[in-house]
């Protein structure tokens, strides 16, 4: 199907089918949670409380500095991954990209993400191709993904804890 709504429609249908099945079986959310069918458990409240300056003071810095070689290897692999994916994107999108800008954006994003305890990352050809196929303009795919991450981060895990694990 070429429909733009195939993926979101499939996810919503799966979610509806899960809750319909719970209802047909007479199960509550607590029953589903006990059976391991739901994500979680998560702490109440937002995850933003996790970000505390005291975490920096509590870090075991000698251990971190002892892993400098591994940290540098991960940084190098991130650069190589960024360049490989950017080159693949150039071929996939049939347009030339500014690799220097991509590397700079990746570096800035990784530094900002690290301040919040985030993992390293770089552009993925699959995500960009999906955004293009869905005809999302500009950075809309990335903004949608960031928005999906921001909702539970700021509003807590209560929403996540009622989602079926099989959907993920």
How does pLDDT run along the chain (168 residues), one tens digit per residue? 777 788 889 999 999 999 999 999 999 998 998 999 998 777 776 677 777 777 778 888 899 899 999 989 988 998 888 888 888 888 887 888 888 888 888 889 888 888 777 788 877 777 777 777 777 777 777 788 888 888 877 777 777 888 899 887
Pair 32, 166: CB distance under 8 Å: no
Q: Report the C-alpha gap between 3 and 66 in whole angstroms.
A: 51
> Tokens for 21?
């099945």
Task: Please enumerate in sequence order all residues whose Cβ is within 8 A of that of 157, keeping only pairs 6 or more positions apart, or say none.
Answer: 40, 41, 42, 43, 44, 47
H helices present in 52-98, as ranges: 53-58, 61-66, 68-93
42-69 per-position pLDDT tens digit? 777 667 777 777 777 888 889 989 999 9
State the burial class of residue 122 (Cβ atoms within 10 Å of its Cβ: 0-12, 13-18, 19+): buried
């Amino acid at each position: 199907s070429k429909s733009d709504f195939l993926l979101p429609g499939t996810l919503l249908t799966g979610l509806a089918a899960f809750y319909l099945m719970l209802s047909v079986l007479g199960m509550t959310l607590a029953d589903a949670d006990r059976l391991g069918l739901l994500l979680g458990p998560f702490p109440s409240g937002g995850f933003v409380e996790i970000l505390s300056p005291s975490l920096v003071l509590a870090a075991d810095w000698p251990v971190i500095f002892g892993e400098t070689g591994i940290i540098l290897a991960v940084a190098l692999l991130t650069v190589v991954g960024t360049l490989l994916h950017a080159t693949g994107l150039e071929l996939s999108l049939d347009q030339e990209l500014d690799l220097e800008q991509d590397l700079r954006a990746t570096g800035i994003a990784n530094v900002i993400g690290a301040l919040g305890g985030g993992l390293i990352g770089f552009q993925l050809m699959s995500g960009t191709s999906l955004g293009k196929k869905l005809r999302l303009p500009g950075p809309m795919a990335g903004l949608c993904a960031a928005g999906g991450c921001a909702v539970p981060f700021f509003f807590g895990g209560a929403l996540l804890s009622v989602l079926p694990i099989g959907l993920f």
